[in-house]
Amino acid sequence: MLRIAAIADMHVAEDSSGKLSPHWRRLHECADALLLGGDLTNLGDTRQAEILARELEAVQIPMVAVFGNHDLHSNEDDKVRGILERAGVTMLEGETTTLRINSKTLGIAGTKGFGGGFAGACGHAFGEWVMKEFMRETERMAMRLEENLAALRTDYRIALLHYAPVKDTLAGERLEIYPFMGSYLLAEALDRAGADLVIHGHSHHGAEKGITAKGIPVRNVAMPLLKRAYTIYNLGAEEI
Ligand SMILES: [Fe+2]
Ligand SMILES: [Fe+2]
């Protein structure tokens, strides 16, 4: 069994120093890896990234992360990525990584994902160029996610996202914002490629648990929703 700690939407800002590290210091006693599902910082600038990097010094297990929309706001994502990588975080954007834990292999395919909405109430790559670009961005990310997951030959596979692939984990959000919270294209990609677990964030007022049409468990680990510094899922257990 692999014990996966996960959290998203910490929105680390100038007043976050010392707030997360005490909760993460003993994480290695109860988890094998920490997954971070985006909105790691509030505005995505280097100052906030440095504060997060210092908080992450407390973590003694492998860390893997994707960006959220907030992490891109200051157009400093290359620098932010560098700061977090130097702090030991494996950053994924349309990429994969494999961890070896207790003689098992865990493959993680990570992407921020994007919006567009859900079947029956979604955008289309039609009309204005900016609308076509919006939807094509999601299509590209979903396609890459599918290819990456399908290529992983590991005992377990996790998809790490920021945006939601299903509506279940948005329950509690206003219906009007669903198209900005995720896309069903991500779920279709997941179901075609297969995965053992999907982790995402972005939905601060949604629900923790959901499932894709083909039965892949989806977990929304946004910190404002969970109201704690991490949660743990047991891969290989009967109930994740
Ligand atoms: Fe967020
Ligand atoms: Fe977000």
Measured in Å, residue 214 CA sits from the centre of ligand 2 at 26
In the chain, domain spans: 2-235
Look at residue 238 in the predicted model and tell me its pLDDT.
Answer: 83
Q: 199 and 8 in contact (C-beta within 8 Å)?
A: yes
Question: Please, which residues bridge with residue 233 across strands?
Answer: 4
How far apart are alpha carbons 183 and 124 in whole angstroms?
Answer: 11
Instruction: Describe the crossing of helices 184-193 and 129-151 by its angle, rounded to 10 degrees.
Output: 20
Q: Locate 145 and state its tokens.
A: 């996610």
Measured in Å, residue 104 CA sits from the centre of ligand 2 at 32
Could you tell me which CATH number the domain at 2-235 has? 3.60.21.10
Q: Is 223 helix (H, G, I), strand (E, B) or coil?
A: helix
pTM score, whole prediction: 0.98
pLDDT digits (tens, 9 = 90+) for 11-56: 999 999 999 999 999 999 999 999 999 999 999 999 999 999 999 9
Measured in Å, residue 144 CA sits from the centre of ligand 2 at 20
Ligand closest to 69 (CA) is 2
Measured in Å, residue 8 CA sits from the centre of ligand 2 at 9
Measured in Å, residue 60 CA sits from the centre of ligand 2 at 26
What residues have a C-beta under 5 A from ligand 1, the ion?
Answer: 9, 39
Look at residue 68 in the predicted model and tell me its pLDDT.
Answer: 98
Ligand closest to 162 (CA) is 2
pLDDT digits (tens, 9 = 90+) for 190-202: 999 999 999 999 9
DSSP state letters, 93-118: SSEEEEEEETTEEEEEEE------EE
